[in-house]
Amino acid sequence: MELLVQLLLTGIALGSGYALGGIGFVLIYKATGVFNFSHGQLTMAGAYFFYMFQVQLGLPPWWSVPAAVASMFAVGVLIERVCLRRMVGEPAITIIMLTIGLGALLRNLVGLVWGTQPQAPVPLFEPGYLSILSVQVPRVYVWTLVATAIFIAGFVVYFSKSAQGIAMRAVAFHQDHAALSGISIQRVFALSWGLAGVTAAISGIMMVQLVGLDLSMDARGLSAFPAAILGGIDSIGGVIIGGLIIGAAESLAGGYLDPYLGGGAKEVVGYVVLLLILMLRPYGLFGTPEIRKV
Amino acid sequence: MSSFFYRNYRLSYIEDRSLLHGLQNFWTKFWLVALVVTLLLLPLVLQKYWIYTLNLAAIAVIGALGLNLLTGYAGQISLAHASFLAIGAYSTAALAKAGVPFLLVIPLSGAIAALVGCLIAIPALRLKGLYLALATLAFFVIVDFAIRKAEFLTGGGAGTHVPSPSMFGYTLSGDQSFYYLSIGLAMLCAIFVANLQRTWVGRAMMAVRDSDIAAEMAGISIFRTKLTAFALSSFFGGMAGSLLGYYLQFINPDNFSLSVSVAYIAMIIVGGMGSVTGSILGAVFMTLLPEVLRISIHVLSRVLPALDVESKGAFVEGVVYGLVIILFLMFKPEGIARFWRDLLVYFRSWPFAH
C-alpha cells in the first residue's frame, strides 16, 4: 500500500511534466496543423538553457527559470519563422520529416555546446521528505507537482481570457474565418511555436528536478507523445489527464514490473499504451472523433 | 537500331516496355557498361577502408530501396525501419550459428522480417500520416525492448556474435569478396524495385499513395496493397540487416537505434522519394557524408586547433546531418534524383538548353 501511494505520487509528479510538455505540441497541432516530432529535443534544450543560466552564468536559481523560458520562446519563434513558415501547405509526411530533422539538429547542437557529461544544476526545491497519508514522499516531487499545476492553470487562463489566447483558439477553430476577422495567422503561428518553446522549457526544468540532466533527456520528452495521443491530440484538457495517466503508468510499471523484467519496463509502457490507443480509439479519450475510412 | 546520337523518343513497343529507358542509345549503354565495370574493378584499386565504406553503402542501398517502396511508392511513413534491420540481423545471427548456408540465410532473414512487417501492417490499415508515424515509433520502442530482454537469443544489451558467411565448407571472408556479395545483391534489389513499379502491384501502391479513396474506387484492395508494401519493405530491411550482421560480425541493440531509422528516412528524402535512382544516390550520399565530414573535421582540427572540433566530431556530424535533411526538404524536396535528371537533360539537349 505504501509502495503504491509512493509510486502513484512520483508518477503523477512526472506525469504533470509530460502534461505540460504535451500542451506544447497540442498547441502547435491545433493552431498550425503540424505535429512536432522535435518536442523531446525542445524539452531537452530548455533544460540545458536553464543549466546554462543557473550554473554557467551564475544567475540566482529562480531567475534562471524566466531566462530559460524566454530563450526557448525565442527558439520556438525562430524555428517557425525560418523553417515551418515556408512549409505551409506541404504534405504531412514532409512536415513530419522536417521536424524529425529539426530534432536531430537540436540534439546535436545541444551536445556540441554542452557535451555528453551529465550535468548537475542546483535544485530549485529544498531536499527532504514530506509525510502524506503516512507515506514519506520526497519534497521535490510535491513541489514539482504544485509548480506544474500552477503553470498549467496559467495556460488555461491564458487561453480562455487573454486576447492572444482567444485569437489562437479562433485560428485553431477555423483558419479562414479567423483571418477574415482580422487575426494575423502568421503571428498566431509564430506565437504557438513560441509558447510551445515555453512549455517545453518549463517541463524540461521540472523534469531536471526529478531525474537529472543529460543527453538522454530527449527520450523522456518523447513521453509527451503517448500523453497527447491518449488524451486526444486536439484537446488541452485531454493531454493533461493523458500526461498524468502515462506518468502514473510508467511509475507503476517501474515499481511492479521491473523486478520481474530486470528494468526497462518504464520506458516501454507508454508506447504500449500508445499502440493500444491507436488501435482502439485513435482520436484519444477526449479528442474530436475524425471518422475517415482508410 | 542503336544510334550514336541521343534520342528521347521510342520507336517500338519493345523499346517502350524496356526497363531502362534510353537503352536504345549508344551512349546510355556505354555509360551503363562503364559503371558496372568500374564497380567490379573498384575493390582492386581502393584502400581497405574505402571498400568497407562502399560495403556499408551497398547495404544501405538495399535498406533504402525497401523504405522507399513503403514511403516513396506506397506513401506509408515508417519510423520502424531500424527494427526490421535488427530483426534481420538477429535472425542471421541465430541461423548462421545453426550452420545454415549464407545464401539461404539472407533471404530467410528477410522473410522473418517480412512476417513481422505484416504484423505492423495491421495498425497501418486503420491509420495514416501522423498516427501511423506514431504507431511505428511505438513498434520500434517495443521491438528494441524485446531485443534487449530476449537474452537467450540476442545476447541482450551486450550483443551477440555473427559467424562469417559460409556455405558447404566455403567461407566468405575479407572486405573484397563481401563487396561482390553486397553490390550484387544491391543491384538485384534495384532491378527488382525498378521492375515492380511497372507492374500492377507497384502501380497500385502509387495509386494508394496519391489517393486511397480513389484507389479503392478503382477496385484496388487497399488491404492487400498496404500489406504487400509493408512485407516487401521489411523484407528488404531484413536482408540489409542480415548483410550488416554478417559484415560487422558483432551486433548489439545500439547498431539499430532510432537514429538508424532517421538515417534511412534521410536517405530517401535526400535521394528522392519514389525513385530507384534516388534510393541509390541517397544511400551512397548519406553513407559517404560522415566519412567526408570526418576527413574535413580532421583537416580543420589541424588548421584551427583552438576550436577543438576533433573531440566533438560526432556532434558536428549530427548537426550537418540534421541540416541536410532540413535544407533538402525546404529547397530540394525532390532530392538528388531530380537534380541528376535535370543535369542529364541539360547535357542531352546541349547546346539547345531551355
Q: What is the pLDDT of residues B209-247, one digit of tens each?
A: 888 889 888 888 888 899 999 999 999 999 999 999 999
From the CA of B86, how many Å to the nearest CA of chain A? 18
Separation between Cα atoms, residue A221 and residue A19, nearest integer Å: 10
Does residue A71 belong to any structural domain of this protein?
Answer: yes
Question: Amino acid identity of A162?
Answer: S
Any CB–CB contact under 8 A between A105 and chain B?
A: yes
Q: Is a pLDDT exceeding 60 seen at residue A190? A: yes
Does residue A291 belong to any structural domain of this protein?
Answer: no
B5 or B323, which is more confident?
A: B323
B262 to chain A: nearest residue by CA? A100
What's the confidence (pLDDT) of residue B239? 94
CB contact under 8 A, A98 and B134: no
Q: What is the pLDDT of residues A235-271, one digit of tens each?
A: 778 888 888 888 888 888 887 877 777 667 777 888 8
What's the confidence (pLDDT) of residue B348? 75
Any CB–CB contact under 8 A between A86 and chain B?
A: yes
Residues 69-98 of B with CB under 8 A from A: 71, 75, 77
**Residues contacting residue B185 through CB under 8 Å, at least 6 positions apart:** B58, B62, B106, B239, B243
Closest CA to A206 of A258, A243, A252: A243
Question: Residue B353: is it exposed, middle or buried by C-beta count within 10 angstroms (0-12/13-18/19+)?
Answer: exposed
Lowest-confidence region among A64-68, A262-266, B3-7, B269-273: B3-7
CB contact under 8 A, A105 and B319: yes
Closest CA to A196 of A61, A75, A59: A75
Please report the domains of chain B, with CATH numbers, ordered by start residue. Answer: 1-45 (no CATH), 46-348 (1.10.3470)
Does residue A125 belong to any structural domain of this protein?
Answer: yes
Range of the domain at A228: 2-280
CB contact under 8 A, B315 and A90: no
Which residues on A lie below 8 Å from B129 (Cβ)?
A: 92-93, 96
- For the segment B97-105, the average pLDDT, to the nearest whole number, is 85
What's the confidence (pLDDT) of residue B2? 46
Does residue A294 belong to any structural domain of this protein?
Answer: no
B61 or B119, which is more confident?
A: B61
Q: Is a pLDDT exceeding 60 seen at residue B3? A: no
What's the confidence (pLDDT) of residue B76? 86
What's the confidence (pLDDT) of residue B331? 86
Q: What is the pLDDT of residues B276-324, one digit of tens each?
A: 889 999 999 989 888 888 888 778 777 776 666 666 777 888 888 889 8
- For the segment B245-274, the average pLDDT, to the nearest whole number, is 88
CB contact under 8 A, B330 and A93: no
What's the confidence (pLDDT) of residue B311? 66
pTM of the model: 0.87
CB nearest to A268's CB, from B127, B142, B325 = B142
- What's the gap between Cα A239 and its chain centre? 10
Average pLDDT of chain A to the nearest whole number: 82
A92 or A104, which is more confident?
A: A104
Side-chain half-sphere exposure of B24, counting CA atoms within 13 A: 17
Q: What is the ipTM score, two decimals?
A: 0.84
Segment (H or E) for A79:
helix A61-82
Residues 131-190 of B with CB under 8 A from A: 131, 133-135, 137-139, 141-142, 145, 148-149
Average pLDDT of chain B to the nearest whole number: 85
Any CB–CB contact under 8 A between A85 and chain B?
A: no
Give the CATH number of the domain where residue A187 resides: 1.10.3470
Any CB–CB contact under 8 A between B295 and chain A?
A: no
- For the segment A169-189, the average pLDDT, to the nearest whole number, is 85
Does residue A272 belong to any structural domain of this protein?
Answer: yes
Does residue A292 belong to any structural domain of this protein?
Answer: no
Q: Which three cell numbers stand for residue B6?
A: 541521343
Provide the number of structural domains found in chain A. Answer: 1
Any CB–CB contact under 8 A between A262 and chain B?
A: yes
What's the confidence (pLDDT) of residue B1? 45
Does residue A289 belong to any structural domain of this protein?
Answer: no
Separation between Cα atoms, residue B235 and residue B85, nearest integer Å: 9
CB contact under 8 A, B222 and A294: yes
Closest CA to A188 of A174, A205, A200, A207: A174
